Amino acid sequence: MNTAEPQFNSAVKMLEYTAGRFGGKIAIEDENGMITFSGLREKSLNMAAALLETRNAPVIIYLPKSINTIISFMGTLYSGNYYVPVDVNMPLTRLEKIFENLKPAHIITDHAHIDALNEINVYGASIHTFSNISEELYTSDIFISDGQPLISAIYERIESVTDTDPIYIMYTSGSTGVPKGVTVSHRGVVDYAKWVRETFDISEQTIFGTQSAFYFDNSILDIYSCLYTGAKMVIIPETFFMYPNMLPEYIDQKEVNTIFWVPTVLINVANLGVLSGGMLPHLKKVLFCGEVMPNKQLNIWRKAFPDILYANLYGPTEITDVCTYYIIDREFEDNDPLPIGKPCKNMKAIILTEEETAAKSGETGELCIGGSGVSLGYYNNKDITDRVFIQNPLNPYYSERIYRTGDLAYIAEDGLIMYVGRMDSQIKLKGNRIELGEIENAVKSLPIIENACVLFDTENQEITAFVQSKENINARKLNLELKKFIPAYMLPGKLIVMDALPLTQNGKIDRIKLKTSFTSK
C-alpha cells in the first residue's frame, strides 16, 4: 500500500484527493443541511463550467456564510480563477470601493442580495445567482464548442494553475478608508493546511465547530484543514455567538471536538460561569487567534477541561492567517503575558529595531515575517505593498521578502516570542512612552472585569478604559487595583463601564466603534 504523503500544487487538488478517499463522508454541515465530499466536488465542477470564460481572474463571492459559500469558493478554483469573499452586510459604499479596486470578472450571489448590486457600479462584472450555476449543468455529458468535453476542459484548467497563483483575496481595513485586498497564493494555503494537520493531529475523525466569517482569515484553518484531511466542518449559526450561553450545548450536540475561535467568544463563554467538568466530553482541542487571550478566562477553561489541548496562534491576514503558535504547556497567573510562541513550519520570525538591525533577546522591536505564507501583496496597490512587503534588511545576498506586521514583540529568555502590542497603539503621554496593550492586559486580569479595551483619546490626551463588568466599579477603584501592576503614569484617566463591549462581524472587539465615543460628545 502506498502511504506516501500527497503533494498538492493547488488547493483545489486537496478536494480531489479527499473526495477520492472519503467521497460519501459528510464534509460540511450548516443549519440548512449537509454535503458530502463527493457532493461538494460535483457541485463545484458544475459551478466552474459557468466561469471558464475567464482565467486567473477575481470572482466576488457575495453570499451569507453557508455550504453554498464553500461550493462557490471551490467552483471558482476549479475554473482556474480566484475567489474574493465579502460580507453581505457591508455598507454598499465600501463594497463599491472594493469593486473599483478589484474590477471583478464575476460575482456570485443569491436572489436575496442581487438587488443590492443593482444600486452600485460593479465595473462590468458578470453577475450569477448561486442556484443557476450550481445546479443546472452536469459536466460529464456536456461538450464545448470545439468538441472537447467540458469536464476535460475544467481539469485542463486545474492543471494550468501554479502554486504561486492567487487562491483568494481578503479585504482588510485601510487607514485611508479604502479597503486593502490581501492576495494569498495556493502555496501559502497548502503549506498552512499541511502544518495544521501535522501540528494538531487533524484527521478524518476531527469535527470543527467554525466561528469565523468566511471573509475573515481565521476561516482558512477550518476550511482547508477539512479539505486536506477529510475532517468535518460544522458551520455554527451566528445566533449562538450572539447568545453564547447556548454554545456549549450546541457544540456538544454536534460532537465538535476542535474549535478555532477568536478570544472574545471564549471570554464571553467563560464569563457566563457555565463551564464545568463533565461538560463537552467530545472537545479535545481549543485554538484561538485574532486578539490577546487573557489568562484569567483561559484559566477558567483550563480548570473546567484540564485535559484539552490549548494553543495560542498569531498571525495577520498578510501571511495566510497564522505564522507563530504556542501550545499551552504550563500554568499562567491571571496577569502573566501569554507567549505567541515560535514560527510555524516554513515560516520565520524576525524582530527588527528602529535601525533595522536584529533585536537582542528581550529587546522590543517590530515583528517581521518571512516564509511561504507571506502573501503576494495588496491587489492593485503597489505603493502600500512596497511599503510593508520589503527585502529582509538582514539578508544582503539574495531577494527575500518579509512582511512588516506593525506589531511589537520580543524574544524571551526561553526563546519564545512575546507579543507586546501594535506600533500604532504605542503612545507618548507627558514624556512617557506607553504601550496601551500592557494597560489593557492589566485591566483584563482584574477579577471584577469581564472584558476590556483601552484606547487613547488624542484630542483630550487621555487614556480611556472601556470595561465590561457585572459589579459596580469606578475609575478610582479601578486604578487602585491597577497600581499593583502598572506605574501611575499608565493609569487610565477615564473609565467607561458597558453592559457588553461592541463586537465586529468577526467576533472581535469593535475598537473603531468605541473610538467614535471620543468624537460624538
Cα–Cα distance between 398 and 414 in angstroms, integer?
31
Instruction: Encode pLDDT of 383-415 as tens digits.
Output: 999 999 999 999 999 999 999 999 999 999 999
DSSP 350-397: EEE-TTSSBPPTT--EEEEEEETT---EETT-HHHHHHHEEE-TT--S
Query: What pLDDT was estimated at residue 163?
Result: 96
d(CA 42, CA 134): 9
Q: In the β-sheet with 377-378, what is the strand arrangement from edge to edge? A: 126-129, 106-109, 58-61, 82-85, 166-172, 180-185, 377-378
203/220 Cα distance (integer angstroms) = 16
Round to whole Å and give the CA distance between 506 and 215.
9
Interval 308-352: pLDDT, tens? 999 999 999 999 999 999 999 999 998 888 999 999 999 999 999
User: What is residue 149's DSSP assignment?
Assistant: B
The answer to whether residues 85 and 69 touch, using CB atoms and an 8 Å cutoff, is: yes
pLDDT of residue 36: 98
* pLDDT of amino acid 1: 37
Rounded to whole angstroms, the Cα distance separating 190 from 220 reads 11
Q: Which residues of 270-297 are buried (b: 16+ CB within 10 A; e: fewer)?
A: bbeeebeeeebeebbbbbbbbbbbbbbb
Cell 502598572 belongs to residue = 486
Q: Which CATH class is domain 430-519?
A: alpha beta
355 pLDDT more than 90? yes
E strands, 469-508, are 494-498
- Predicted local confidence at residue 518, as pLDDT: 76
Q: Provide φ and ψ at 155, rounded to 5°.
A: -70, -30
Angle at 23 between CA 19 and CA 24, to 5 degrees: 155
User: d(Cα 4, Cα 127) in Å, to the nearest integer?
Assistant: 42
Instruction: Give the tens place of pLDDT for each residue, 75-128.
Output: 999 999 999 999 998 889 889 999 999 999 999 999 999 999 999 999 999 999
Q: Is the pLDDT of residue 2 over 50?
A: no
Residue 25 has, within 13 A of its CA and on its CB side, a CA count of 19
Q: Is the pLDDT of residue 3 over 60?
A: no
47 SS3 class: helix
Report the largest interatomic distance among the alpha carbons of the chain, rounded to a whole angstrom.
Answer: 80
Question: Helix (H, G, I), strand (E, B), or coil: what is residue 466?
Answer: strand
At 419-446, the pLDDT tens digits run 988 887 777 777 676 888 889 988 999 9
342 contacts 327 by C-beta, under 8 angstroms: no
Give the whole-angstrom CA distance, residue 187 versus residue 330: 34
CA-wise closest residue to 443 among 356, 341, 335: 335
| Per-residue pLDDT band at 171 (split at 50, 70, 90) | very high
Residue 5: DSSP 8-state: P
Sign of CA dihedral 16, 21, 25, 28: negative
Q: Which CATH number fits domain 236-420: 2.60.40.420, 3.40.50.12780, 3.20.20.100, 3.30.365.10?
A: 3.40.50.12780
d(CA 393, CA 356): 7
Quote the Cα angle for 326-505-453, to 5°.
60
Domain boundaries of the chain, sorted by first residue: 37-184, 236-420, 430-519
Residue 389 neighbours by CB distance under 10 Å: 17
pLDDT at position 4: 61
**Among the CATH numbers 3.90.550.10, 3.20.20.80, 3.40.50.980, 3.20.20.150, which is that of 37-184?**
3.40.50.980
CATH topology identical between 37-184 and 236-420: yes
Q: Is the pTM of this model over 0.85?
A: yes
